[in-house]
Structure formats: structure tokens, C-alpha cells
Structure 1
């Protein structure tokens, strides 16, 4: 997603920011008419294409959005009420992202690109998340 596992940025997290694992962040994701999901990070310094949600993250957003074209997703490294869980299964070389396995979910794999480092500051071992709108 998880994002996943694409989010209006309610909390801006800059790379390297010090954040407690129990802190929650809310991101907004939107789906364009051609079907691609994007995370809404207006201050992201790279090209829009970097913000595309692909390789399972798009499927997770379809699930969370329940047919809508926009969804806000709350995320944390610590469990919280109503949250789904993704566990990191593989972290590639820098520039190659990380793979996560959603726990107890039909989606088998979610790849998160290095924009995750911009948004969360790292690739957490676990990501807990839920749709909040």
C-alpha cells in the first residue's frame, strides 16, 4: 500500500524525521480517470510518476477505497484499532523499494517504492493501516 499499501497529506513527514513508532500519519491517495493511483505529496521534489502506486499497492487502495476515487489512509508502525497489517518481506538495494506481505488478506504482495522513504523516513518492518474516509 501499503502503502501501502497513494494519500491529502494530513501529516508531512520529511526524510529522516524522528517519529515514534506509535505515531500515526494520514495520507491521501487519488485515482486518476485512466486508473492509476497516486499519493498526494504536493511538496515531493521528484516527478509525478514517482508517486504512482503500482505492484499491489494499487490493489490495496482499490480495496480500501471501496469504489471511490479518493481515500485517506492512516498508517503507523504500531498496531491500532481497526488496522490491517503488512510485514516487510524483502528490502531491495537503495532505489529499488521494498516488498510487503499483507497479513490475513487476499492480496499477496505490495511493493512500495523509495517515495516511502520520503513519506515515512524508512521502510518499517511492519506497517499498520486503515482507511479513515
Structure 2
């Protein structure tokens, strides 16, 4: 993985936008690709595509949130404290490290009773590893 200075500048710009341009809600799309794996749809991602892969339970969650097995559209609300969001499942952070990602316990999705791991790409999307993440399947 050799990255150019241009790649690193692009990445810094993406992080800056996510940290300083925080939203209260995000609309994310996940794709089930030809290799049989799920990936977050992140246009203009400056690094290797495999960094966007959903693994360690996040892939199984994408499959559950998908209507057709090919795409999952998800509304995401990051929160620093526990909140009530009608119709949303709750992900509660159990541990995290800056470069090691974060583990979340998933609550409120029938038939899905396990922790998932979210990789450091989360920092590019949400700007942090929120204490709570609320998710809901959208069309």
C-alpha cells in the first residue's frame, strides 16, 4: 500500500469534511459486489477499495438490511449519548481505538444478536466512533 502525497491530501480533506461538516443524519448505501462481499459506497475514496469492505458481522448486518441481496440503503444517526429514535435499531459502542476500529453491540434487529466491528473508514464517514449509532433501513 504505497500512497502518494496527493492520496494523503485527499484523505485529509475527506476527514476534515466529515469532522467539521458533521450532520445529524447520514444516508449510506452498501453494495454486495461480484466477489460476494459487502462494501460501503464511498465515492472518490482515495485508498484501496478493500478498505471499504464490511466484515466481522457488519457484512451480515448489511445482508439483513438489504431487500434484494445486492444493495442496502441505511439512515444513520450518530449520537454521543443514548437517545430514542422510533423505528431505528441501536448500536452501542463497547470498545474502540483510533486505528483499530470499534466494536458495537447491535440491539433491536430481530434475528441479529451479535457484536459487529466497524473499521477506521467510520472516521471518514462520521468523523468519530460515536458512543451510539442508530440505524434504519430506507428505500
TM-score by length of 2: 0.77
**For the pair shown, which has the larger CA radius of gyration, 1 or 2?**
2
1:101 to 97, 100, 105: 105
What is the alpha-carbon root mean square deviation over aligned residues? 1.9
- 2:125 is paired with a residue whose SS is helix
Do the aligned residues in 1 keep the contact of 2:106 with 2:114 (CA within 8 Å)?
yes
TM-score by length of 1: 0.81
Displacement of 1:27 after TM fit? Answer: 0.7
1:91 to 96, 99, 103: 96
In 2, Cα distance between equivalents of 1:33 and 1:45: 21
In proportion to residue count, which structure has more helix?
2
- 1:16 is paired with a residue whose SS is helix
| Residues matched between the structures, number | 119
Do the aligned residues in 2 keep the contact of 1:55 with 1:110 (CA within 8 Å)?
yes
Alignment map for 1:16-35 (pairs within 5 Å): 16-19=19-22, 23-35=24-36
In 1, Cα distance between equivalents of 2:22 and 2:35: 35
Gaps of 5+ in 1: 1-11
Alignment map for 1:1-133 (pairs within 5 Å): 14-19=17-22, 23-78=24-79, 79-92=84-97, 94-105=98-109, 106-133=112-139
